[in-house]
Amino acid sequence: VTGASFVVFNGALKTSSGFLAKSSIVEDGLMVQITRETMESLRQALRDKKDFKITCGKMDAGDGKEYVDICWVENEEKTNKG
């Protein structure tokens, strides 16, 4: 679990790169590089207020993958304090 002050979603990752998605820590935030198709799915999930999971790592990496989970919560008062 990584806490971040901000998240940047970059939809310019090429499918030919061999990655499903890439995540990296940038200053005190998180940058997630995703394909255009994943960006479209993410946008729709945000509009629909649905949870969304992004699998990061090489396409052929097996079990060595990371995940970025976007989750909607009921009570905002208990999240993002401080």
Q: Where are the domains of the chain?
A: 6-70
Distances (CA, A) of 10 to 27, 40, 42, 78: 16, 11, 11, 28
- pLDDT > 90? residue 22: yes
Q: What are 23's two structure tokens? A: 């995540």
Domain 6-70 has CATH 3.80.10.10: no
Q: What are 29's two structure tokens? A: 């935030």
- pLDDT > 60? residue 79: no
Q: Mean pLDDT, to the nearest integer, of 29-45?
A: 96
Q: How confident is the model at residue 70 (pLDDT cuts 50, 70, 90)?
A: very high
Q: What are 25's two structure tokens? A: 């820590």
Mean pLDDT of the chain: 87
Q: How confident is the model at residue 65 (pLDDT cuts 50, 70, 90)?
A: confident
